[in-house]
Structure 1
Amino acid sequence: MKLVAVTTSADRVAAATIPFKMLGLGVVPLPCIAVEPVADDLLGLVRESAAVADLIVISSRRTIDILWPDGDLPACDFAAVGPVTARAVTERGGEVIRVGRAGAAELARSLQMVVSGRTVIWPHARGADPQPIELISKAAAVFAGPVIYGSVPQPPGVDEVDVVTFASPSAVAGWQLSRELAPETIAVIGDTTRRAVEEAGCSPAVVAPEPTFQSLAESVAEYLGAAA
């Protein structure tokens, strides 16, 4: 059985392995990042800004967990990157008006006309792709794009694997703190992570078509089946 490394943060890695296991893949959890929210006073300011926004763009479930751990979302419209993030918003009573199924860039393009004349906030991780954020900042009447957490690279364990999966540039950086990118087959979520792998001198064999671990697992399973 081929072994697949899942490299997201320790607090998310158990859930992230489930789609791979459901597809019969051997999974090795190898967290490569630690998540560090910004100071509480800064998070408070972001919550105040979000409370008066017309639209909040949410990139991940983690954003909701950090800003609104009690689940009490502001009474405004939401746009979400990916169906998993959208579901996290609706589960907490939020109104999702747009879902980007092909990443942040696709969502930003689809929102350009929607945000015209509106107050928009896009809380995000440090190191997020700046281009989608800039696109919305130019189209909205009032815009804020605060950093609310950082993903700090961490060295993974030394378990042998056949495939390594990455969902963020920080995970790519963490992997390289203790391991080489080759000869493992590399699979990634999103263009930003793909570019991080390429900048490290490798080319991913698999790029998931949607920004979810389910899509990544399905893409890896398909690739391994074709390569068998």
Structure 2
Amino acid sequence: MRAFTVSERLRYWFDNTMSRGTVALIGWLVVLTLLMVGAVVALVLSAGIAPINEDGSPVGPAALVWDSFMQALSPEQVTSDTGGWPYLLAMLALMLGGLLVASTLIGVLTSGIEQKLDALRRGRSIVAETDHIVILGWSSKTPAVVRELVLSNASQRRSCVAVLAPKDRAEMEEAIRDAVGPSGRTRVVCRTGDPIVLGDLDIVNPHRARAVIIPSPESGDDEEHEDPDAKALKMIFALT
């Protein structure tokens, strides 16, 4: 059996880190910025090309680090830099690196926001409610059930109905909106997921709900509803 090389292990570790999402990518950009600033500061100090203060003394390491950070974060500052050409070229290289990091950061943030919005559109966020009513599954009767619940909760100050079904969130919300109309003080929350899957079931927090309703699907609607009793039993077992 072939042993893994150090480069392969490092590449594997790097790939796993990058796959953790937006926060990990931002962390790598921060590390890259620190490395760039450290490299430029070390080069300027070792080569003795640091700019001179008004009193004739060279700029100290702390001030040089600060100026380098400002250069990386504010590329337009290169026009106000003073010093010899070697120092200005070093700042120019740092500016280009800062532009690369800034553009990558914008792309990472944009991608992260798009992924979050897509997750919200798909209805996969947790329903942080207690004493609510949960409806598991979907059938043609579900909008009517929601309408009756909204009417019965009209006198309550605060109530919530959470629907979990393997159906597109937007389609469920549209069907309920057409059947119910304004829901008043009752919030109707739709989430996409399979009520039989424990991970999906936890999305609507059924164990802290006031009631759980399982509408019986009509037999023969599709293959999924060929045996509605068996499916309802599976949902009940998933709840226990």
Whether TM-score is above 0.5 comes out as no
Higher relative contact order (CA 8 A, sep 6+): 1
Bucket of the pairwise TM-score, normalised by the shorter protein: under 0.3
Which structure has more helix as a fraction of its residues? 2
TM-score normalized with structure 1 length: 0.23
